[in-house]
Structure 1
Amino acid sequence: MILLGLLLAACAATFGVIRYEEHKEVIRNSDAIVLEIDSDAVQTLSWEYGSETLAFHKEDTWLYDGDAAFPVDEEKIQERLELFRAFGVSFIIEDVEDYGQYGLDKPICTIRLSTADETWEILLGNYSSMDSQRYVSVGDGNVYLVQNDPLDYFDAGLSDMIDHDETPDFDKVTGIRFAGTESYSITYEEDSGNTYCEEDVYFAERAGSLLPLDTSRVDAYLQKISGLSLTDYVTYNATAEELEACGLDTPELTVTVDYTYEDEARNEITQTFVLQISRDPEEQKAAEEASDQEEGTAEEEITAYARVGDSRIVYRITANEYKALMDASYDALRHLEVLSADFSDVTQLDISLEGAAYSITAEGSGDGRTYSYLGEELEIGDLQSTLESLKAESFTDERPTQKKEIGLTVHLDNENYPEVRIELYRYDGTNCLAVVDGTPVSLVARADVVDLIEAVNEIVLN
């Protein structure tokens, strides 16, 4: 009996080996295209990954089955469909009996597509780290290894499929308007007679006058808009109540930018971009009350929101983005320099210092201009650099009440502005008050004024 049992066991084992060999899977290299689905003909697309199931269908546009109001990014849908227009593989595994060894009995992701005539179900299994490829089933009985892993596209959640609002790159801005905490307009004007600085092209409209702005500061502000990260959406279909809760029913600041760009046919296209910014109203109210009671903190928490035009999407923006966008005052965009003229346009400097008057004259033109004092040519570099270093620490309209430290009349090679008068008055131990053409402008560092006086003395006393 013992011998008989051993014989039966040996026969069973031999039968198992033979059966295994009879059903051994066939694996071979392949460059076959196993799916060719016309993406334009696809009418439905869905996938299950992890705990999330997403489904979309096409009418005139692609719609999310769970909410027709969701703004679907059609390019992202198309990007996923294009994967199966010519879906190629690198290995074919035939005669498969155990799909579990490839992770296809419980697929990590299931993708379904359909046209008017046909439906496909694509299963994604394990990832072969040895081959750096994914096991895939397309329902034909085979298992495939693919290099272009579909999971790279279908691990997406709903937030990855939203058609986000975009901020443009402003090729040429023709106008900017601020409403809310700031209320003024900026116009674009080349070769303007409203400035003595050739680079000035932006002008603030204030009290009937066009006041020059610093081109680099305006461009930097526009770049803050272009570089704004609009991805963290709070809602994609804001109600009136939600807008009010975010403070966007009456935005703190609305920025309207008129700009032009060239299309592919080189036609000039005019566009207008509108951005609305607000801080959480309750938080803003608490901050104002704390400020009134002088209880503000250095690390103030800011919850802020932005909305593009009449879009229904509301985005959360960072505290730094909020502060940068809200910093849109005239003072934030005007020239910091007391004298913004190009020094190569200076034809003469008349200087008053400690009751004495001095004149520095020039010959030549542009960058080839040379300067002299009392008929003797001089090196103007130190005086030029100290004059150009006079920049606003802050702006003010306060009238001077103390001693004038130094005065300069700068003569320019400019028909509209033949001269600029600069007077620097003592203010306190840290700052001096700069008055330009009789109008108080800014507080500048007293140390820089001292450097200017020393540069003048170096010329007139030697």
Structure 2
Amino acid sequence: MKRRKTLLILSLVLVVAVGAIVAEKAVAQHVDKINTIDEEVFNISAEDATQLTVTKDGKTAVIEKQDDTWKNTSDTDFPVDQDYVAKIFEAFESVHASFIIDDVEDYSQYGISNPEGKITFTTADGTNEITFGSFSTIDKKRYICVDGGSVYLIDTDLLEKLSGDIEDYLDRDKVEGYSQLTAMRITGASKANVVYDPDGKYTYTDAYNFYNVSDNEHQPLSESKVLGYLSTLSSLDLSNYETYKATEEDMSKYGLDKPTLTVTLTGEVPADDSDEDDSVKSVNQTLYFSYKDGKDKAYLCFDGSTIVYAITAEEYENVLKANYEDLRPDEIVSIDWTKVAQVSAKIDGETHIIEVDHSGDGNKYSVGDDKIEFVTATSKIDGLTLSEVGEDYKKGTEELAFAITLDDNDATVVNVVMYQYDGDSCVVSVDGNIVGLCNRSSMSNLREEITSAILNKGKDQ
């Protein structure tokens, strides 16, 4: 009973839909014959096609197949995006319609006489043309006409997938969508030699995966900053270009024969030709940039490409932010407190030793035989960040020093010293090397917390 009722409702909906379309066209002198269908009304194979012509928004793009490669008919040096063309054929390999209008006498009432666009496929057997009309006012579906015959209503607006502007067919370069960046080398106006080594044992902590290699020293980097820089490269606006067939003379003209910045990326991307979902392959890309001071734009070219792109000076300035100082972690130290054996704090010339006990639930801290509340202090140590990165800061009087001894085979010690600089900042030294400035209030809050913990030792612990 329920099934019969459902079928009845669907039948009524269908009748109403057809009737609505008929009513919509009743103003015309001739009412065309309309039938509901659900069938393929056009198909095309990319292998069979030899030419493709698209007209839309007053522009016409014509491409043809040469040696199995799609070329711009008017300029074969124009690099056509083969994937872009493939997607067009995917959209038209099987076109389905929900209504058919036969014996059409007035194509104008469907927008076919003055179409919004059309596409022509040429094969060895001839040509097929699809004309795109207006939308039906009832259900907002697009009218199309195939080879000047019947008019159809299609469920998907295929015109949205087309462009008559040949510029949209340009095979623009792009930064690969790396599933894992493994190396990044930057030379010129900025310098960095970034490597991905998650198993490296270069510092007291295993919190870092990326390092800057300089003079055989591995300096830890912020993973979010490294990937953020990669995102900056990927987000460059490559819609504007100077030429798509650059010669050596062009490269010299735009300064790309002697780039001001060179970025080489190495990483893993999905292997398209593999049957394994998790299969990857390694790829390399090199990007060359050139810029002259005072200009409002810079130039970019990918290695192996003949396209010279124009980017803004602001975009170029963002690409320059690739030095170690730009990519270094913000935190002054990265400590796993479950692996700390001892903390030594020096304030006003007096040194205090805080022992760490891991035998129970959570860490327990003590000075001599007295327990202390030191968890807040550890949180403040974790929260210490650099406001500026660099080594050329003149240090004043020492204000706070602490050494963290790790519970490892080497009893590794991380030494941090904070010195006076000015009213707002302190100079920070880690393991004897000045690394930059930190907010003075952060240092003062930590100093007060350590002092309070020690002064209150043994109380209510």
Q: 1:371 aligns with which of 340, 344, 365?
A: 365
Per the alignment, do residues 140 and 417 of structure 1 end up closer, same or farther by CA in structure 2, a change over 3 Å counting? Answer: same
Residue in 2 that maps onto 1:44:
51
State the alpha-carbon separation in 2 of the partners of residues 117 and 374 from structure 1.
Answer: 95
Residue in 2 that maps onto 1:166:
174
Residue in 2 that maps onto 1:79:
87
Q: 1:217 aligns with which of 218, 225, 230?
A: 225
Alpha carbons 1:136, 1:143 under 8 Å: kept: yes
SS at structure 1 position matched to 2:318: helix
Q: How many residues align?
A: 424
Q: Which deviations, in whole Å up to 9, do the C-alpha atoms of 1:369-390 show, x marking residues without a partner?
A: 3211232222222211222232
Aligned amino acid, residue 238 of structure 1:
A
Alpha carbons 2:175, 2:234 under 8 Å: kept: yes
Residue in 2 that maps onto 1:383:
377
Residue in 2 that maps onto 1:197:
205
Aligned amino acid, residue 190 of structure 2:
E
Q: Does 1:427 align with 2:421?
A: yes
Q: Which deviations, in whole Å up to 9, do the C-alpha atoms of 1:16-64 show, x marking residues without a partner?
A: xxxx99x764232233433233332011111222421211111221111
Larger CA deviation: 223-232 vs 67-76: 223-232
Residue in 2 that maps onto 1:157:
165
Alpha carbons 1:193, 1:416 under 8 Å: kept: no
State the alpha-carbon separation in 1 of the partners of residues 75 and 421 from structure 2.
Answer: 64
Residue in 1 that maps onto 2:346:
352
Alpha carbons 2:61, 2:164 under 8 Å: kept: no
State the alpha-carbon separation in 2 of the partners of residues 322 and 340 from structure 1.
Answer: 32
Alpha carbons 1:344, 1:366 under 8 Å: kept: no
Alpha carbons 1:433, 1:442 under 8 Å: kept: yes
Aligned amino acid, residue 271 of structure 1:
V
State the alpha-carbon separation in 1 of the partners of residues 395 and 142 from structure 2.
Answer: 79
State the alpha-carbon separation in 2 of the partners of residues 178 and 348 from structure 1.
Answer: 40
Q: How far is the alpha carbon of 1:315 from its aligned partner?
A: 3.2
Aligned amino acid, residue 408 of structure 1:
F
Residue in 1 that maps onto 2:433:
439
Per the alignment, do residues 331 and 97 of structure 1 end up closer, same or farther by CA in structure 2, a change over 3 Å counting? Answer: same
Residue in 1 that maps onto 2:124:
116
Q: Which deviations, in whole Å up to 9, do the C-alpha atoms of 1:53-84 show, x marking residues without a partner?
A: 21111122111112112222223223323344
Per the alignment, do residues 214 and 399 of structure 1 end up closer, same or farther by CA in structure 2, a change over 3 Å counting? Answer: same
Larger CA deviation: 327-336 vs 245-254: 245-254
Alpha carbons 1:44, 1:115 under 8 Å: kept: yes
Larger CA deviation: 404-413 vs 231-240: 231-240
Residue in 2 that maps onto 1:450:
444
Residue in 2 that maps onto 1:8:
none
SS at structure 2 position matched to 1:40: coil
Per the alignment, do residues 381 and 34 of structure 1 end up closer, same or farther by CA in structure 2, a change over 3 Å counting? Answer: same
Q: Does 1:128 align with 2:128?
A: no
Q: How far is the alpha carbon of 1:92 from its aligned partner?
A: 2.6
Aligned amino acid, residue 289 of structure 2:
I
Consecutive unaligned residues of structure 1, counting only runs of 5 or more, are 1-19, 288-301
Residue in 2 that maps onto 1:54:
61
State the alpha-carbon separation in 2 of the partners of residues 365 and 274 from structure 1.
Answer: 53
Q: Does 1:90 align with 2:98?
A: yes
Q: How far is the alpha carbon of 1:360 from its aligned partner?
A: 0.6
Larger CA deviation: 450-459 vs 256-265: 256-265
Aligned amino acid, residue 276 of structure 1:
Y
Q: Does 1:461 align with 2:455?
A: yes
Larger CA deviation: 353-362 vs 98-107: 98-107
Q: Which deviations, in whole Å up to 9, do the C-alpha atoms of 1:239-266 show, x marking residues without a partner?
A: 4454445443322221112223453434
State the alpha-carbon separation in 2 of the partners of residues 366 and 339 from structure 1.
Answer: 25
Alpha carbons 1:26, 1:93 under 8 Å: kept: yes
Please report the RMSD computed on the Cα atoms of aligned residues, expressed in angstroms.
Answer: 2.8
SS at structure 1 position matched to 2:351: strand
Residue in 2 that maps onto 1:295:
none
Q: Which deviations, in whole Å up to 9, do the C-alpha atoms of 1:122-147 show, x marking residues without a partner?
A: 22233322342333322353333333
Aligned amino acid, residue 282 of structure 2:
T
Residue in 2 that maps onto 1:27:
34
Query: Which structure has the greater CA radius of gyration?
Result: 1
State the alpha-carbon separation in 2 of the partners of residues 189 and 198 from structure 1.
Answer: 10
